[in-house]
Amino acid sequence: MRIGVFVCHCGENIGRTVDCHAVAEACAHFPGVAHSEDYKYMCSDPGQNLIKQAIREKGLDAVVVGSCSPHMHEKTFRKACADAGVNPYMVEIANLREHCSWIHDDIKAGTRKSIDLMRFAVEKVKFNVPLSPIRVPVTKRTLVIGGGISGIQAALDVANAGYEVVLVEKEPSIGGHMSQLSETFPTLDCSQCILTPRMVEVYQHPKIKLMSYSEVEKVDGFIGNFTVTIRKKAKSIKEEFCTGCGLCAQKCPIKKKALSEFDEGLSFRSAMYVPFPQAVPNIPVIDREVCTYFKNGKCALCKSVCGRDAIDFDQQDRFVKEEVGAIIVATGYKLYTIDKKPEGSIYKGYGEYGYGKYKDVIDGLQFERIASASGPTSGEILRPSDNKEPQKIVFIQCVGSRDESKGISYCSKICCMYTAKHAMLYKHKVHHGEAYVFYMDIRSGGKNYEEFVRRAIEEDHVKYIRGRVSKIYEEDGKLIVRGEDTIAGMPVTIDADLVVLATAMVPQPEASVLAQTLGVSYDKYGYFQEVHPKLRPVETATGGIFLAGACHSPRDIPECVSMASAAAAKTMVLFGSDMLEREPVVAEVDPSTCAGCFYCKKVCAYNAIDINEIRDRKGQLQKVVAHVNSGLCQGCGTCNATCPSKSIELIGFRDDQIFAQINAFAEV
């Protein structure tokens, strides 16, 4: 090997406390060094030309530059060498500035240390090998999981950029929770009015393949090359024939056996149902649990009235495979179930508030349905128990949130705003009604949010009481709410007609199952984990899988929309080229020495180690060894250090390269 050594003065930055000429002289005597010189500004054009000239004249095949930190100019020098015909990975940088000249005043110590650092780099580069960036092909299609506002936004952005999208939604209709809301803060826009045009756009978009009433079953592959198996659940309808006329749902005789999920249990729906009138797609679904035909073979009224013969009782769940290059997860949230007997989860109930016991203790989404013009009460604020108009409503914030003893220590972010909104909606409809809000703090940090809450207090005269509620019980048809007013320093008792609980936002219960299917991390609550909370909030540690919306953490609609567009942008960055180019600093297995213990697989944070069976020509198993998927490997080297036989090594930081540096320590 013929190594070229170049020591930069960096003007006075290195030259003042390090004798660069002496360093270059010393390096000239290292075995393997064919050329050694120093220069004022190595990164400048003339400096780079010196390197290129030396490469040509002296036939150099590796270069060591003593300069500023590699974080500054490693790329510069790599490019210069590549231009002159030396592989860019045959370049090593010794940090003589940040790690030497700038931190020592003693020129003797500084020079000696610089010589040592140069020696380490020279010894390391002797074991470098030429490398090329790894190329992985990219399928330019995206899977979006979840058809709420986040999924819809992400799907539209990607589709409008010209790439195909597969949108999978587990409910019969897209729209998510936003379609259940009556009005949105801070504008009090009608939620469905702003959402439904988007829903229709998705349905009609030529680049979006919508799969409703479907779930992601299995995900194989890696970034740019995922194969996703999707279960299309049986709607019992042949979608190609259905016109959405709604006659079947109208005629369905089973009207009171199932509670409407869309109305949060406040009304019934039929066995053959469309979740709400503006559902997209407007195709009904048979709930086989309550349908008479599926229970005892009778009825089939829907089939007889259907003019298009679209009903298919024999339909089964179908599995389809889709090839995609990127996945956006937008599974959203649900509200914390806070009755006394939670389903064996980390959450503990709020039995003391009587949710599930008293009909008139409801949660935020139920209030939205009551306030909604298309809801069970046609928009009139009426109590669920007796359909009377409540004269006093108590709203309680922070139910479940910010309460470590109940299992949730975080703040759900949106409750202060929607509680103010609920109180305002109530007051707009029941002018003489009294609205009380029990709060711990008011968190209204968004644009026009603080003004919105002030409006509730000052214009709509909602009474805010700082304190928590200890108990709610029923007496003479009223709900007695016992709480505390901490500012006045005294207990408060209110005889309410209706109590609305601002319960915590939690991830979907199956989120952790989906996370494991995808191979992404999640926290103890089930929220999906981002790579870096500050700088990479929409990416997961698994390449090619991005996050959008409330499945990541509690957030409101504008934040969901922003995040969805961000995830879409990340997808488009991925699709920007036909081949994905990655730094070749990845691990590699030597199958001849690998014992197949797979300790490397255990420590790989990126699932980049596969199990490889080595068979002979007759198909007999010889051994099982590890194999690195270079598309997924991020190059940390934990596998290398964990492997007892060193059968897996990290290219660029291999054992022999590090050994050479440690060995050079003997000369220090």
Partner 1 sequence: MNGLNEVCREAISGNKAALIIGYTEDKHHHLKPFIAHTEADTDKLTYNHNAVNNLAVYLHRFRNRTEGRIGIVVKPCDLKAITALIQENRVKRDDLYVIGVNCSGVVKDQNKEFSKENTQIKCKTCAGKTPAWYDVVVEESVEFELPEDNNALLMKQIEEMSAEERLEFWNSEFEKCIKCYACREVCPMCYCDQCIVDKTEPRWIESSATNRANFAWNMIRAFHQAGRCIGCGECDRVCPADIPLSLLNRKMGMVAFKEFGYRHGTDMNAPTLIGTFSTSDHEEFIR
Partner 2 sequence: MLLQRYNMEEKFEPKIAAFVCNWCTYTGADLAGTSRLKQQPNARLIRVPCTGRIDPVFIIKAFESGADGVLVSGCHPGDCHYNAGNFHARRRWIMFRELLEFAGIDSSRLHFSWVSASEGKKWVDVIDGVTETVRKKGPFDQYRKMSRKIELPELEEEGVEI
Residues that bind partner 1 (CB under 8 A): 592-595, 597-599, 602-603, 621-624, 642, 644-647, 655-656, 659-660
Binding partner 2 (rule: CB under 8 A), the pick from 603, 614, 624, 656 is 603
> Is residue 598 a contact point for partner 2 (CB under 8 A)?
no
- Indicate the residue among 62 and 274 with the shorter CB distance to partner 2: 62
- Indicate the residue among 68 and 370 with the shorter CB distance to partner 2: 68
Short-list 449, 455, 365, CA closest to 186: 449
Written as one string, the DSSP assignment of 99-152 is IIITT---HHHHHHHHHHHHHHHHHHHTT------EEEE---EEEEE--SHHHH
Q: Give CA–CA dist 53/603, Å, rounded.
A: 45
Binding partner 2 (rule: CB under 8 A), the pick from 2, 56, 58, 71 is 71
Residue 598 contact partner, candidates partner 2, partner 1, none, CB within 5 to 8 A by sort of partner: partner 1
Residues 57/51, Cβ–Cβ less than 8 Å: no
Residue 103 contact partner, candidates partner 1, partner 2, none, CB within 5 to 8 A by sort of partner: partner 2
Residues 271/292, Cβ–Cβ less than 8 Å: yes
End-to-end CA distance of the chain: 23
Q: How many CA atoms lie within 13 A of 269 on its CB side?
A: 23
- Indicate the residue among 100 and 165 with the shorter CB distance to partner 2: 100
- Indicate the residue among 178 and 660 with the shorter CB distance to partner 2: 660
Residue 595 contact partner, candidates partner 2, partner 1, none, CB within 5 to 8 A by sort of partner: partner 1
Residue 401 Cβ, how far from partner 1 at the closest point, in Å?
23
> Is residue 110 a contact point for partner 2 (CB under 8 A)?
yes
> 3-class DSSP state for residue 520?
coil
> Is residue 12 a contact point for partner 2 (CB under 8 A)?
no
> Is residue 109 a contact point for partner 2 (CB under 8 A)?
yes
What are the tokens at 480? 């007695």
- Indicate the residue among 659 and 665 with the shorter CB distance to partner 1: 659
- Residue 419's CB: how many other CB atoms inside 10 A? 29
Residue with tokens 């709400």: 276
- Indicate the residue among 227 and 593 with the shorter CB distance to partner 1: 593
Binding partner 2 (rule: CB under 8 A), the pick from 34, 585, 595, 597 is 585
Residue 605 Cβ, how far from partner 2 at the closest point, in Å?
4
Local structure of residue 345 (DSSP, 8 states): S
- Indicate the residue among 28 and 641 with the shorter CB distance to partner 2: 641
Exposed / middle / buried, residue 71 (Cβ in 10 Å: 0-12, 13-18, 19+): exposed
Residues 181/369, Cβ–Cβ less than 8 Å: no
> Is residue 661 a contact point for partner 2 (CB under 8 A)?
yes
> Is residue 229 a contact point for partner 2 (CB under 8 A)?
no
Residue 586 Cβ, how far from partner 2 at the closest point, in Å?
11
Residue 666 contact partner, candidates partner 2, partner 1, none, CB within 5 to 8 A by sort of partner: partner 2
Which residue type occupies 650?
A: L
Residue 261 contact partner, candidates partner 2, partner 1, none, CB within 5 to 8 A by sort of partner: none
> Is residue 631 a contact point for partner 2 (CB under 8 A)?
no
Q: Which residues contact 489 (CB under 8 A, 6 or more apart)?
A: none
Residue 655 Cβ, how far from partner 1 at the closest point, in Å?
5
Short-list 487, 503, 419, 504, CA closest to 453: 419
Short-list 226, 211, 224, 221, CA closest to 322: 226
> Is residue 607 a contact point for partner 2 (CB under 8 A)?
no
Binding string, residues 503-542; x marks residues near partner 2 by CB under 8 A = ------------------x---------x---------x-
- Indicate the residue among 490 and 621 with the shorter CB distance to partner 1: 621
Binding partner 2 (rule: CB under 8 A), the pick from 113, 170, 231, 392 is 113
Residue 648 Cβ, how far from partner 2 at the closest point, in Å?
12
Residue 126 Cβ, how far from partner 1 at the closest point, in Å?
12
Residue 371 contact partner, candidates partner 1, partner 2, none, CB within 5 to 8 A by sort of partner: none
Binding partner 2 (rule: CB under 8 A), the pick from 597, 624, 634, 656 is 634
Residue 663 Cβ, how far from partner 2 at the closest point, in Å?
6
Burial 256-284 (b: 16+ CB within 10 A, else e): eebebebbbebeebbbbbbbbebbbbbbb
Residue with tokens 């194999």: 627
Residue 112 Cβ, how far from partner 2 at the closest point, in Å?
8
Q: Is the peptide bond before 281 cis (omega within 30 degrees of 0)?
A: yes
Residue 104 contact partner, candidates partner 1, partner 2, none, CB within 5 to 8 A by sort of partner: partner 2
What are the start-end ranges of the H helices in 393-475? 415-429, 449-458
Q: Which residues contact 665 (CB under 8 A, 6 or more apart)?
A: 120
> Is residue 74 a contact point for partner 2 (CB under 8 A)?
no
- Indicate the residue among 26 and 481 with the shorter CB distance to partner 2: 26
Local structure of residue 668 (DSSP, 8 states): -
> Is residue 597 a contact point for partner 2 (CB under 8 A)?
no
Q: Give CA–CA dist 252/272, Å, rounded.
A: 6
Q: Give CA–CA dist 258/295, Å, rounded.
A: 14
Residue 531 Cβ, how far from partner 1 at the closest point, in Å?
17
Residue 507 Cβ, how far from partner 1 at the closest point, in Å?
20
With both helix axes pointing from N to C terminus, report the angle between 557-574 and 149-160 in degrees, rounded to the nearest 10: 40
Binding partner 2 (rule: CB under 8 A), the pick from 12, 386, 459, 667 is 667
Q: Give CA–CA dist 659/463, Å, rounded.
A: 71
Residue 444 contact partner, candidates partner 2, partner 1, none, CB within 5 to 8 A by sort of partner: none
Which residue type occupies 589?
A: V
Residue 105 contact partner, candidates partner 1, partner 2, none, CB within 5 to 8 A by sort of partner: partner 2
Cα distances from 110 to residues 43, 100, 114, in angstroms, run 21, 6, 6
What are the start-end ranges of the H helices in 176-280? 191-204, 247-251
Residue 504 Cβ, how far from partner 2 at the closest point, in Å?
24
Residue 637 Cβ, how far from partner 2 at the closest point, in Å?
3
- Residue 220's CB: how many other CB atoms inside 10 A? 11
| Phi and psi based region of residue 403 (left: phi greater than 0; alpha: psi -120 to 50; beta: remaining) | beta
Interacting residue ranges for partner 2, rule: CB under 8 A: 69-71, 95, 97-100, 102-106, 109-110, 112-113, 116-117, 120, 521, 531, 541, 585, 603, 605-606, 634-638, 640-642, 650, 653, 658-659, 661-668
